[in-house]
Amino acid sequence: KVVASMERQSAEGDFRSNINIGGVGVPVTLTEEEVELSIKAADAFNLDMAGVDILRTKTGPVVMEVNSNPGLEGITEVTGWDVAGEIVDFAVFKALNKKPSDSVFDFKQDEPDARI
Answer whether residue 1 is part of any domain: no
- pLDDT value at position 103? 56
Query: What is the pTM for the complete model shown?
Result: 0.75
Q: Are strands 24-27 and 51-57 parallel, antiparallel or unpaired?
A: unpaired
Tell me, letter by letter, the H, E, C secondary structure of 24-92: EEEECCCCHHHHHHHHHHHHHCCCCCCEEEEEEECCEEEEEEEECCCCCCCHHHHHCCCHHHHHHHHHH
Q: Tens digits of per-residue pLDDT, 72-95?
A: 888 899 999 999 999 999 999 988
Answer whether residue 47 is part of any domain: yes
Answer whether residue 38 is part of any domain: yes
Q: Tens digits of per-residue pLDDT, 13-65?
A: 887 787 777 778 889 999 999 999 999 999 999 999 999 999 999 999 999 99
Q: What is the CATH classification number for the domain harbouring 33?
A: 3.30.470.20
Helix (H, G, I), strand (E, B) or coil at 9: strand
Which residue segment(s) compose the domain that 13 sits in?
Answer: 6-99
Share of the chain above pLDDT 90, in %: 49
Structural domains counted in the chain: 1
Answer whether residue 92 is part of any domain: yes
